[in-house]
Amino acid sequence: MIYLDYQATTPLAPEAREAMLRWLDGPDGSSFGNPHSPHRLGRQAEAAVEVARERVAALFPPGGRVIFTGSATEALNLALRGCAPAREGRTTAISAIEHSAVLDTALDLRGNTTILPVDRDGLIDPQVPLPDDVGLVSVMQVNNEIGTIQPTADIYARVKTAGALFVCDAVQAAGKVPIAEADLIAVSAHKFHGPKGIGALWVRGDVELRPLITGGGQEGGSRSGTLSPALCAGMGAAAKLALERMEEDAAHVAGLWCHALQLFGDWQLNGSAQARWKGNLNIRREGIDVARLMSDVRQAMFSAGSACASESGKPSRILGALGLTPEEARGSVRIGFGRYTTADELDAAAQMINHAAAQQG
């Protein structure tokens, strides 16, 4: 099996697994404490959670606070719904290529939502007009389907001038590139070689947030519920490793990208080639039915779009936002690679994919 779907999820780093095991089962039974219990067992678990929090915090801009959540989807819900005091009665603006965790949540908020368009390269114009009464803007840093890197610094500056809040979905950026400045930032451990089932929301110091989940008052009252020390430790170890290896991983990915461009020379690239995370090769070829291609090439795991959208069978709304026709979108594949991918794996997968594509005409 060749895994080329790094945007859907990434393999757990051995270092993250190791960090988790201690909190799943201690040989003397001493590592199962509730991190919110005041006794010694609880305090040990709490110490592990706080070490993890510091490691995760190192991903973000200085200052602010890290709230652990069950996923980035939850973190984005907390960001968009939780800042109601600043946003209510004003318009929410999001880019046309946001993940459904942002789009569906924004559409569910009370009040108006404006969609900010992207160009043919999958990039938002930094000078895009914002609504006069804008209260919140959400623009992702790296897109999950096409890998384009948005000009979030320019947009954040304009959002601040407008007196609004800026939310950034940094799920596909975290651990790969330095995270953008924003007021609220969401990340997910399983996208940077950590475990599934844990994410985080970073919140700038002065932002007022209402909880979505109430109860025991954990996470400073922002997100009640007992934390899993194992998941926190795994996320913390993955964050530390990603920061330590950021340049090495990026250089490895850049090498694979150049190689992949040659292997798929007959295909056309979707989205900007420059403003892009290079571990995401989203390409199309005329007359291809990707659903058939995927069933023909069973040894290589790649994607027809985002993992969440691919079950619907509808052409990708992200590729549609770039102006691609439904046929072009249906003929597009996303090949995602990263830290543990080898050039040999790319060679083998390209041979299978190109062969199956040629069979289709």
Q: Which stretch binds ligand PLP (CB under 6 A): 88-96, 128-136, 165-173, 264-272?
A: 165-173
Helix residue spans in 58-115 (DSSP H) = 72-82, 84-87, 100-108
Q: H helices then E strands: how many in the chain?
A: 12, 12
Tell me if 238 contacts ligand PLP by CB under 6 A. Answer: no
Q: How far apart are CA 155 and CA 142, in angstroms?
A: 14
Radius of gyration of the chain (CA): 21
What are the φ/ψ torsions at residue 53 (nearest 5 degrees)? -60, -40
> Shortest approach of ligand PLP to residue 60 CB, angstroms?
16
Tell me if 99 contacts ligand PLP by CB under 6 A. Answer: yes
State the Cα torsion 241-243-245-248 to the nearest 10°.
160
308 counts as catalytic? yes
Of the CA atoms within 13 Å of residue 6, those in its CB half-sphere come to: 24
> Shortest approach of ligand PLP to residue 139 CB, angstroms?
11
> Shortest approach of ligand PLP to residue 125 CB, angstroms?
20
Tell me if 172 contacts ligand PLP by CB under 6 A. Answer: yes
The amino acid that residue 281 corresponds to is L
Tell me if 201 contacts ligand PLP by CB under 6 A. Answer: no
Characterize 174-183 residue by residue with b for buried, 16 or more Cβ atoms within 10 angstroms of its Cβ, and e for exposed: bbbeebbbbb
Tell me if 176 contacts ligand PLP by CB under 6 A. Answer: no
Rule CB under 6 A: which of 242-271 touch ligand PLP? none
Q: Which stretch binds ligand PLP (CB under 6 A): 38-46, 154-162, 167-175, 331-339?
A: 167-175
Catalytic residue among 168, 232, 258, 308: 308
In the complex with ligand PLP, the residue whose CB is nearer, 4 or 162, is: 4
* Interacting residue ranges for ligand PLP, rule: CB under 6 A: 71-73, 99, 101, 140, 144, 169, 171-172, 188, 199
